[in-house]
Structure 1
Amino acid sequence: MEMRLIRESWKQETNDLWSVDQEIRLLTPYVPNSFCLSSATDFIDILKSQESFNHIASMDVTSLFTHVPIQETIDIIIQKVYHSQRAPLDIPENTLRQLLLACTKEVPFYSHRGDLFQQIDGVAMGPPLGVLFASFYMGAVEERVFERTKRPKMYTRYIDDYFLSFDAPQDLAHLFQKFTENSVLNFTTESSTDGKLPFLDVLVDINDTKIKTSIFTKANNNGTVMNARGECSSNYKKSVVAAFAKRAVTHCSTWQDTHYELERIGQLLTNNGFPMPL
């Protein structure tokens, strides 16, 4: 069984070497993010601009963070920062390279048993630097693939989850092969079933002439949310109700689906101690 490394970033030596927040702030503008989504709302906005799809599918990276190649990703960051059309940072190139190495491959950490380890490749899921490295590597892989491969009709990515639309089903296998050949990552794919496909928390339905969206809830969702009787600020409890209601309105494309979702979350919140009417 493969294990994923998760560690607390606030206790790590990386914060003493160089502020991680400062590092992310300086390097984020150089991340290749032409196809990145920042939220499910972004995804829905893009769907609204599409007329129809013949075939839709999703693609996912297996354990992205632990498979990000550190040395290659640092080379990508250096290339984007110092050898691209953007203005370079005022930090010497070799200094930035050494700082990135110090914050990744050269950082020791303790296991829960007290054993001292050093991570030689891949990034941990806890420190924010892991997201930055994953974003740089994924963006570079996309650039390599689409230099020689036609981009799907719709192509978007949220970190390691892709939503794709094709004119023919065999196009998915071709794209899967190209991503595998141009990276060290392992990918999985899922095609739509009866014209429906979940992506993030959105269920996309292409059966009608117009694309429909609604809320997607996993089968193993047991309906547990913040309990209204718990010791927590009332502002947090109100935000739970507001977030559920807002998501129903923004994610559902028909009034029928919106009404169904509002009824569902009303019962869910009641089961978790919230008074009715809300």
Structure 2
Amino acid sequence: MGTIEATALQQNRPSIYCRYIDDIFVRVRNLDELQALKKRLADASGLNFTYEESRDGSLPFLDVLVTARNAGFTTTVYKETSQGLCLNGDSECPQRYFRSTINAYVRRALSYCTSWESTHKELERLTQVFINNGYKNSDVQEAINTAINKEHTDKQQPQEDNQKIKIFYKIHMSTQHRIEEKSIRNIIHRNVKPTNPNQAIDLVIYYKTKKIHNSS
């Protein structure tokens, strides 16, 4: 695509032209300009290009909904790519998997939404999604509050003060892994403190499955 673009965009390049693999986001003045761009790309590559026009000034690009304003754009999470399916809260897996699932959705909301109003609506929607999938409301709210506080802290403090001190701990996967993981976290929380008050301990627990011996 880079070679194709070098040829097709030598002249009359759109004011905004963004591409991720085979998805392209462009801003054009009218449909004629879009059709001309489509033809140049097709002639330069021999490929068939399709397009989707914005509706009421909004257009989804990947999993982001982009809306044109008088000055620039606003963005939020595109709901059609988030149908409410995620790791079930009753699944038998390490506790950190549940936290990672919540954190991933929350980080996406904070990253994609350009206004607090849209962020608040998306976080409310996510809370209901997680509750529907068996998560505790208290766990979801704790993750949301932690993410918001961290984002605020990151903007207020120098970068060097935000670096976490990682501690890695390996355990064997077993039916008691949740109890052992909780115990380790409690021990670290009670007994290990960074010398720099602006830093935090990041305990990374990873699992090793027991070897199955061949009896033959």
What is the TM-score when the length of structure 1 is the normalising length? Answer: 0.48
Please tell me whether residue 214 in structure 1 is matched to residue 50 in structure 2. Answer: no
What are the within-5 Å matches in structure 2 for residues 94-133 of structure 1? Answer: none
Q: Percent identity?
A: 38
Indicate yes or no: 2:78 matched with 1:199. no
Highest CA radius of gyration, 1 or 2?
A: 2
Does residue 186 of the first structure (1) align with residue 52 of the second (2)? no
Deviation at 1:232, TM superposition (A): 2.0
**Aligned residue pairs: how many?**
139
User: Is it true that 1:140 corresponds to 2:20 in the alignment?
Assistant: no
Question: Which amino acid is the alignment partner of residue 28 of structure 2?
Answer: F
Question: How far off its partner does 1:262 sit?
Answer: 0.2
- Structure 1 residue aligned with 2:176: none
For residues 248 and 222 of structure 1, what CA distance do their matches in structure 2 show? 15
Amino acid at match of 2:2: G
Q: Unpaired segments of 5 or more residues in structure 1?
A: 1-137
CA distance in structure 1 between the partners assigned to 2:87 and 2:53 by the alignment = 34
Distance 2:83 2:123 in 1: 17
Deviations 1:150-200 (A, max 9, x none): 211010100000000113332110000001111132111011001010101
Would you say 1:166 and 2:28 are equivalent positions? yes
1: CA distance, partners of 2:106 / 2:70: 26
Q: CA deviation at 1:271?
A: 0.7
Shift of 1:208: 4.3
Q: How does 1:234-273 map to 2 (within 5 A)?
A: 234-273=95-134
Root-mean-square deviation (CA), in Å?
1.5
Distance 1:153 1:222 in 2: 33
Q: Within 1, Cα distance between the matches of 2:9 and 2:70?
A: 30
Q: Secondary structure at the match of 1:155?
A: strand
Listed one character per residue, the Cα deviations across residues 122-142 of structure 1 (whole Å, up to 9, x for unaligned) are xxxxxxxxxxxxxxxx11111
Q: More relative contact order in 1 or in 2 (CA 8 Å, sep 6+)?
A: 1
> Are residues 1:227 and 2:88 paired?
yes
In the aligned structure 1, how far is the partner of 2:115 from the partner of 2:124? 14
Secondary structure of the residue aligned to 1:188 is: coil
Q: For residues 50-69 of structure 1, what are the alpha-carbon distances to aligned partners after superposition, in whole Å with 9 as ceiling and x for unaligned?
A: xxxxxxxxxxxxxxxxxxxx
By how many angstroms is 1:210 displaced?
A: 4.2
- The alpha-carbon deviation at position 143 of structure 1 amounts to 1.2
Equivalent position SS for 1:185: coil
Letter in 1 for 2:17: Y
Question: How many Å apart are 1:266 and its aligned residue?
Answer: 0.4
Deviations 1:230-249, CA, capped at 9 Å, x for gaps: 12222221111111111111
Q: Deviations over 1:27-54 (max 9, x none)?
A: xxxxxxxxxxxxxxxxxxxxxxxxxxxx
- Residue segments in structure 2 that go unaligned for 5+ positions in a row: 141-216
